[in-house]
Structure 1
Amino acid sequence: MFSAALSRKTAIVTFTWGIEMTYCTPYLLQLGLTKSKTSLVWIAGPLSGLIIQPLIGVIADRSRSKWGRRRPFMIVGSFVVATCLLVLGWTTEIVNMFVKDAEKARNVTIALAVLSIYAVDFAINVVQACCRSLIVDTLPIPLQQTGSAWATRMTAIGQLIGYVIGSIDTVSIFGAIIGDTQFKQMTVIAAMSLVGAVFVTSYAVKERVLVTARDSDDKAGTLQVISQLVKTTMDLPPRIQAICWAQFWAWIGWFPFLFYSTTWVGETYFRYEVPKDATQPADMLGEVGRVGSLSLVVFSSMTFIGSVLLPFCVQPPDSKRPRFTPRPPPGLASLLKKVMGIRPDLQTTWLISHVMFAATMIFAPFARSRAVATFLVALCGIPWAVTCWAPFTFMGIEINKLAMNPSQSSRSSGVTMITSSSLLSGGPSTYSDRTNDTEMDVLRLNHHDPDSDSDIEDGVSNIPSTGELAGIYLGVLNVYTTLPQFLGTFISWIVFSVLEPGSTKRDDSAQDSQWMNLDKSTPNAISICLFIGALSAIVAVEATRRMRYTL
């Protein structure tokens, strides 16, 4: 259950991401941006991931704060996210307080909304990077799959909670106490939940503290950190490189799905099912959000079911002999043996998830009703559960293996490792428990396999710390997650510019914009983006298959 407690903050981080993905695209369209310009706004996601997560990973690895290496960044990041979410919800009101001219106010509102989205993306990447690193720091190899599986379950729970709340008319429940629109109320709920969850986790986790650092760390500035990241990315161990390439191709497909699926379901509904002469709702943004959220409720339910059941149906990676001798009842022994024999390994499961995603999204351009669109989105819940789980499990295992083989990790990444000799000589760095800073006890993050033979001399293990590797290698994985999002953004921009080049029309005399007046005869540009993503997932199938032959 420690893995569950360690991962619970992931649920709220995902909930916050869900608010942004559900409402911000239609919100920007409502303000008057074209789809092509809106797609460029979403460079914020990959840009923040590319810069922030690796940078924070390395900086946190070297942090000597008495509060720990990860938690200070999590707390500050959560406060920034909460503040910017509230600014995003009340952008129009804030701008109208200072700008009286209607046209200038409209442009400033768009600019402030875009800046708020960028700030949310950058800050939430800080929180997310530290959340993942805590799991790798804390859990040994046998529990890496369990930890990643629990993180996936919490991700699904966070999505499910967010989309369930988003599908409900919260204004009719809460009134105008926390905002007069659905979007405002969702930003308030997300801000309060994130800050609360981070504080609870920060209080509960017992984190190691770096009490003395290498001399090189004191001299290392931002350029040195970036140089180390580039060097590590360009010279990865073969197995980690293979994992990263599989992640790269998969995320070209997942990017348009995650950012546009809500808008796609809403557009499909208003494009093909709502009569043109129908009266538009007063809160069109809230209506689109509720329609899209309902489909994502089913998606998240499938993700949660998959995250709970799949780990029991998949062979743990690098599983050796059992910790105990299994003695099932004689009547079940043969059945259990057959079941255990047909369980796929995690790599095969990841490969099948790419196939399932590709086979589903290929049909996106043919959806002509909300029911069909919802069905396609829901089917993607299973492959998404595997995507949130498999790459981090593989990376956690490889990081721990590198920690047990310091010569390999030093050659591959240029990361200086802690060794027993340096500890005994008062060298590079030592760790202390956060609750006992004054005793200077050496508490190190050695996640070696208790079944393996390790060289122990004079009671000191010669196995380096995983804490120094977790931040940088998970940061590298994040680079391979964010670079395809840049490519996905560029592809989306081209598709939107060609198929839907016009501006969204804003009727200033109405309570809301007319941006959902869609023509059935025109192609749905978002569905084309989803189709292209399916083609990329096919490439991810081959990249994942090749992992089996990479040592």
Structure 2
Amino acid sequence: MAIPEAERQRVRARAAVREPVRGRIPRRRLLRVASVACGIQFGWALQLSLLTPYVQELGIPHAWASVIWLCGPLSGFLVQPLVGHMSDRSTSRFGRRRPFILAGATAIIIAVLVIGFSADIGWLFGDRGGTKKRAVVAFVIGFWLLDVANNMTQGPCRALLADLTGKDHRRTRVANAYFSLFMAVGNVLGFATGAFSNWYKIFPFTVTSSCNVNCANLKSAFILDIVFIAITTYVSISAANELPLNSNNGSAPEERLEQSSHAEEAFLWELFGTFRYLTGPIWVILLVTSLTWIGWFPFLLFDTDWMGREIYRGKPNEGQSYHVGVRMGSFGLMLNSLVLGITSVLMEKLCRKLGAGVVWGISNILMSFCFVSMLILSYIVSNMDFEPDDLPPNGVVIAALIVFAILGIPLAITYSVPYALISTRIESLGLGQGLSMGVLNLAIVVPQVVVSVGSGPLDQLFGGGNSPSLAVAAVAAFASGLVAILAIPRSRSDKSGSHH
């Protein structure tokens, strides 16, 4: 659907303030700016590997564990687009994006302190044995704040990279690949931290009357996360060198008047109003993104829990098999992140040669095959005859680790390609990059809400394992791969490898 020129100007004025013209940003500066993803993802890795098992240790049943994750997509639905929109308009003397990145990082630090010390907080307010209700309340508050803070930080980070690369589409892909690479590094460090079982010996003060060894390991890991997020945030915002926006840096008088007249319009109306201008290829990208995340979210929710329950045949708070499996799952996710990092380095060349849509589609079909492999492994182990406290056969564990590692390939594509595609194709609408990331984020969070609400009860309906959710994930991933290959057109920058 073509956009009338007058309406195009109106949308551009409402949604964005134009940044001053700048020279080409050196790659080394893009690398430093993208480094904040390392700190953010360090915390995400701990969250993904440790918190679903930990919340069950606090006494929340498996069927309800996924509901705790509901805040992630809900906060992403509102917080990331809103923060992106506000950062598009920001005239702070420190720049558009950096104040939001700093505020988000500060909120992450507060959140992980609350999560790490939730058992101690519960004990302080009267928890004694059984389900630790007060600790659960503290944990949920910290967990939800962490999700809000993550969403508050990631959107401006992506938008900042898009600001710095401008209309150089090839460099936009490079910047997103750097971002994905640092996410991989953060994942490796975070999952390695989660897999290590002796942090309580290095930080003995973390063991308290209310916090056992497993709890102390989690607490220690989040203390390390605080140090890491502080360092990477400083490196990133000190390298960005944003120029503040003001009335003299590029907006025409009539555009500034239009911006002012619409400053008080409702944000969500503005966000959803942009949908009527989206072209067919953009809708295809949003569809593939939604199906992709229906595939990813069950795995991200239950990856280490699947290893502990279905490969090691353990249960939370019953023996050590479950905890050994969770740590092995964290090790598998570390391998996953190593593969993710290697893929990130090669991604720009792959997209230039094959086209971003084809690369995305092939990776999603590979993801589907991996989920089917996990289902097969679950079935094999369920038919084996060994005691609950016995370790599973080495061959099964190795096969599970290989599957986790291979999944690093499609995860690298998911963390990079959709953002590059939406950034370049939505540019003609005149949207600010922050709001553009918010539009894409809606396609991510809606399926996450569905999975968060439905996966726990679905798994419980079929016996309490994770296989039903993984089966749905496999189907969604395969469908998204086919749509990406068949329906995402190849751009001129893909074909030529040049920018325009």
Pairwise TM-score range, normalised by the shorter structure? 0.7 to 0.9
User: Is 1:397 matched with 2:429?
Assistant: no
Identify the match of residue 58 of structure 1 among 85, 90, 96. 85
Q: Deviations over 1:6-56 (max 9, x none)?
A: 211111111111111111100111111111211111111111111111111
Cα deviation, residue 262, structure 1? 1.5
Identify the match of residue 544 of structure 1 among 476, 484, 490. 484
Q: One-letter code of the match for 1:246?
A: V
User: Is 1:192 matched with 2:192?
Assistant: no
Residues 178 and 188, structure 1, Cα contact 8 Å, conserved in 2: no
User: Is 1:95 matched with 2:154?
Assistant: no
Gaps of 5+ in 2: 1-27, 208-212, 382-395, 492-500
Indicate the larger mover: 541-550 or 226-235: 541-550
Q: When the two structures are superposed, what TM-score results if normalisation uses the length of structure 1?
A: 0.73
User: Is 1:39 matched with 2:71?
Assistant: no
Identify the match of residue 449 of structure 2 among 440, 462, 486. 486
Residues 7 and 147, structure 1, Cα contact 8 Å, conserved in 2: yes
User: Is 1:162 matched with 2:190?
Assistant: yes
User: Is 1:358 matched with 2:298?
Assistant: no
Identify the match of residue 124 of structure 1 among 127, 139, 150. 150
Cα deviation, residue 119, structure 1? 0.6
Cα deviation, residue 141, structure 1? 2.3
- For 2:319, the equivalent position in structure 1 comes to 280
Q: Deviations over 1:363-390 (max 9, x none)?
A: 2222133333222222211111111121
Residues 252 and 537, structure 1, Cα contact 8 Å, conserved in 2: yes
Residues 268 and 370, structure 1, Cα contact 8 Å, conserved in 2: no
Q: Deviations over 1:338-384 (max 9, x none)?
A: xxxxx322221111001111112112222133333222222211111
Q: One-letter code of the match for 1:382?
A: I
**Greater helix fraction, Structure 1 or Structure 2:** 2
Q: When the two structures are superposed, what TM-score results if normalisation uses the length of structure 2?
A: 0.80
What is the CA–CA distance in structure 2 between the aligned matches of 1:539 and 1:292, rounded to whole Å? 27
CA RMSD of superposed structures (Å) = 2.5
User: Is 1:268 matched with 2:310?
Assistant: yes
Cα deviation, residue 500, structure 1? 4.3
Cα deviation, residue 541, structure 1? 1.9
Residues 300 and 381, structure 1, Cα contact 8 Å, conserved in 2: yes
- For 2:386, the equivalent position in structure 1 comes to none
Q: One-letter code of the match for 2:368?
A: A
- For 2:289, the equivalent position in structure 1 comes to 247
Cα deviation, residue 285, structure 1? 7.9
- For 1:144, the equivalent position in structure 2 comes to 172
Identify the match of residue 306 of structure 1 among 343, 348, 352. 343
What is the CA–CA distance in structure 2 between the aligned matches of 1:191 and 1:220, rounded to whole Å? 40
What is the CA–CA distance in structure 1 between the aligned matches of 2:399 and 2:123, rounded to whole Å? 41
Q: 1:363-512 to 2 correspondence within 5 Å? A: 363-367=373-377, 368=381, 369-400=396-427, 402=428, 409=429, 469-500=432-463
Residues 337 and 408, structure 2, Cα contact 8 Å, conserved in 1: yes
Gaps of 5+ in 1: 316-342, 403-408, 410-416, 418-467, 502-524
What is the CA–CA distance in structure 2 between the aligned matches of 1:100 and 1:136, rounded to whole Å? 48
Residues 121 and 138, structure 2, Cα contact 8 Å, conserved in 1: no
Q: Deviations over 1:178-204 (max 9, x none)?
A: 666110011111122112211221122
Q: 1:193-212 to 2 correspondence within 5 Å? A: 193-212=228-247
Indicate the larger mover: 488-497 or 260-269: 488-497
- For 2:110, the equivalent position in structure 1 comes to 83
What is the CA–CA distance in structure 1 between the aligned matches of 2:366 and 2:451, rounded to whole Å? 20
Indicate the larger mover: 84-93 or 107-116: 107-116
- For 2:42, the equivalent position in structure 1 comes to 15
What is the CA–CA distance in structure 1 between the aligned matches of 2:232 and 2:129, rounded to whole Å? 40
What is the CA–CA distance in structure 2 between the aligned matches of 1:88 and 1:117, rounded to whole Å? 6
Indicate the larger mover: 60-69 or 372-381: 372-381
Residues 125 and 134, structure 2, Cα contact 8 Å, conserved in 1: no
What is the CA–CA distance in structure 2 between the aligned matches of 1:544 and 1:100, rounded to whole Å? 51
- For 1:292, the equivalent position in structure 2 comes to 329
Q: Deviations over 1:485-540 (max 9, x none)?
A: 11222330332331346xxxxxxxxxxxxxxxxxxxxxxx2132112101001221
Q: 1:138 to 1:33 in 2, by over 3 A?
A: same
- For 1:256, the equivalent position in structure 2 comes to 298
Residues 30 and 285, structure 1, Cα contact 8 Å, conserved in 2: no
What is the CA–CA distance in structure 1 between the aligned matches of 2:102 and 2:62, rounded to whole Å? 34
What is the CA–CA distance in structure 2 between the aligned matches of 1:314 and 1:549, rounded to whole Å? 13
Q: 1:349 to 1:101 in 2, by over 3 A?
A: closer
Q: One-letter code of the match for 1:127?
A: T
What is the CA–CA distance in structure 1 between the aligned matches of 2:156 and 2:404, rounded to whole Å? 29
- For 1:526, the equivalent position in structure 2 comes to 466
Cα deviation, residue 399, structure 1? 3.8
Cα deviation, residue 259, structure 1? 1.8
Cα deviation, residue 177, structure 1? 4.6
Q: One-letter code of the match for 1:471?
A: G
Indicate the larger mover: 153-162 or 301-310: 301-310
What is the CA–CA distance in structure 2 between the aligned matches of 1:269 and 1:79, rounded to whole Å? 38
Residues 29 and 239, structure 2, Cα contact 8 Å, conserved in 1: no
What is the CA–CA distance in structure 1 between the aligned matches of 2:264 and 2:47, rounded to whole Å? 30
Q: 1:169 to 1:100 in 2, by over 3 A?
A: closer
Q: Deviations over 1:307-328 (max 9, x none)?
A: 123333441xxxxxxxxxxxxx
- For 1:508, the equivalent position in structure 2 comes to none
What is the CA–CA distance in structure 1 between the aligned matches of 2:461 and 2:107, rounded to whole Å? 37
